Amino acid sequence: MTLSLTGPLVLVGAGKMGGALLAGWLGKGLAAKDVIVRDPTPAPEVAALIEAHKISLNVDVAEIAARAPAVVVLAVKPQLMDAVLPELVPLVAPDTLFISIAAGTSLHRLKDLLGEEMRAVRAMPNTPVAVGRGMTACFANALVSDAQRDVANALLAAVGAVGWVESEAQIDAVTAISGSGPAYVYYLAECMAAAGEALGLAPALAMQLARATVSGAGEMLEQMPDEAATLRKNVTSPGGTTAAALDVLMGEGGMSPLMRRAAAAARDRARQLGQ
């Protein structure tokens, strides 16, 4: 599906995440002439993208407001919100949707900075958006129309899967699972490689086995309709090698309770950062 908007898209913040989103939108057909980027120092790879597509950079807010933007995406670091958002107040309008991907920044905080009339979606994407395989969870405030919700869904679906939570408080749980989750998977690969080394494999081969296994299993989860538990059982022969390993991983104090404690710690930290 080709992306099409009723007005310009303004990307505020051109770091890694903002750049990944921009690349995804352009790849889905969003016209470069309809994009405006605001960032005093774009990341080098994003600056190259801006130059290659001749995207407008750091246009004056009054000029942007005159063009009636359809979407403003806030991709700045949370600690910069207080400095950056007040100058964007002239962009607040009924037909302009704000999408914030700033971790820990609540819709209430956005309203304090942008005003009562702000239409906003709070989104939590994860880093695999960089390869078009991200997961983004969203929550919209009460002023967002169905059409604007569809726009947010289309923009975020350009870089992966999209889901909507029932309350903003659930964003902290999303952060704990999909937001921080890629790090858990990378650490799993590290642990598998280290275990291979302990069993006598060369370090390079051990890491190759771990990386290929994690990415291949992930691709099967993506492509096959079976539940994760079914895929696990398909690999596990009674009394076999996989069963022996799973007896450890699924035993008392194994992976499930450990992951629950880890996710709870991430959720609790997300709550603290959002206060």
Catalogue all structural domains in the chain, each as residue range(s) with its CATH number. Answer: 9-171 (3.40.50.720), 181-273 (1.10.3730.10)
As given in the structure block, the two tokens for residue 2 are 């080709």
Cα separation, 123 vs 120, in Å, equals 10
Instruction: State residue 1's pLDDT score.
Output: 55
Cα-only R_g, the chain: 21
* Crossing angle of the two packed helices 203-223 and 181-198, in degrees rounded to 10: 140
Could you read off the pLDDT tens digit of each residue along the chain, which spans 275 residues?
Answer: 567 788 999 999 999 999 999 999 999 999 999 999 999 999 999 999 999 999 999 999 999 999 999 999 999 988 899 999 999 999 999 999 999 998 888 999 999 999 999 999 999 999 999 999 999 999 999 999 999 999 999 999 999 999 999 999 999 999 999 999 999 999 999 999 999 999 999 999 999 999 999 999 999 999 999 999 999 999 999 999 999 999 999 999 999 999 999 999 999 998 887 76
* Mean pLDDT over each residue of the chain, to the nearest integer: 94
For 36, list phi and psi in degrees, rounded to 5.
-125, 130
Cα separation, 180 vs 169, in Å, equals 16
Helix (H) or strand (E) holding 144: none
| Report field, pTM of the whole predicted structure over 0.85 | yes
Cα separation, 169 vs 181, in Å, equals 18
Sheet holding 119-124, edge to edge: 56-57, 35-38, 9-12, 71-74, 97-100, 119-124, 134-140, 160-164
C-alpha to C-alpha distances, 70 to 41, 86, 153, 272, nearest whole angstrom:
24, 19, 14, 33
Residue 108: CB atoms within 10 Å: 10
